[in-house]
């Protein structure tokens, strides 16, 4: 059944990127994406969905590299891609909408998005419950105009010519909800400053 669902996902991606990438390229990325996240998915029945979404993100990044983009791209990186970077991505999508491409990743991805982060973001009307931890990949880093790091240190990728920002934030993992709320609000301030600096249109 999972093989069938992955094949169906491949068909959707073929249609979505028709004229940009051939079937061989898409199949190669699907296979590689599966290898990168298989075993990390908390629930096996979600695996085909995660493979499709991860592959789509990578193909979007590759498309930016090959044909360019009409809006800036921001990549949020932390260690587990389960708390800080997911909240930041959620805030940026909420504040800037379709005026920016948003990516996130981790140097050592966790198993699932932090429940406290999901709860804290839900309190302000932002749903990150369907997000999932994933590794950063070469094409996504190269496609980003701004790379925001959050505690991944030397494990964070450094590519020449990128704008880098390092946000010093408490890791919400294992923290009480009051602390997670503080991190959430601090991230909002950083994101709003980023939106202003990029001259993005608010959603």
Give the residue numbers annotated as catalytic, written as ranges: 78, 152, 156
Residue from 144, 131, 158, 133 nearest 194 by CA: 144
Longest dimension (CA), the chain: 49
d(CA 190, CA 104): 16
Side-chain-side CA neighbours of residue 174 (13 Å): 2
Nearest by Cα to 167 from 143, 145, 192: 192
- Quickly tell me which residue has 């959707």 as its tokens: 12
Q: 160: exposed, middle or buried (C-beta count within 10 Å: 0-12, 13-18, 19+)?
A: exposed
What tokens were used for 106?
């981790």
């Amino acid at each position: 059944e999972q093989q069938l669902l992955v094949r169906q996902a491949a068909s959707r991606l073929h249609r979505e990127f028709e004229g940009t990438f051939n079937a061989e390229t898409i199949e190669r990325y699907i296979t590689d994406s599966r290898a990168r996240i298989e075993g990390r998915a908390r629930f096996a029945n979600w695996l085909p969905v995660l493979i499709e979404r991860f592959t789509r993100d990578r193909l979007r990044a590759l498309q930016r590299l090959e044909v360019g983009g009409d809006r800036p791209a921001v990549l949020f990186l932390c260690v587990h891609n389960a708390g800080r970077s997911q909240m930041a991505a959620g805030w940026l999508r909420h504040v800037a909408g379709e005026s920016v491409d948003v990516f996130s990743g981790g140097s050592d991805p966790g198993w699932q998005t932090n429940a406290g982060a999901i709860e804290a973001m839900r309190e302000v009307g932002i749903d990150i419950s369907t997000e999932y931890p994933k590794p950063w990949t070469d094409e996504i880093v190269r496609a980003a105009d701004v790379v925001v790091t959050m505690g991944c240190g030397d494990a964070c990728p450094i590519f020449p010519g990128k704008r880098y920002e390092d946000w010093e934030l408490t890791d919400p993992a294992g923290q009480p909800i009051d602390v997670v709320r503080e991190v959430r609000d601090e991230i909002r301030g950083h994101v709003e400053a980023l939106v202003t600096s990029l001259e993005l249109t608010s959603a």
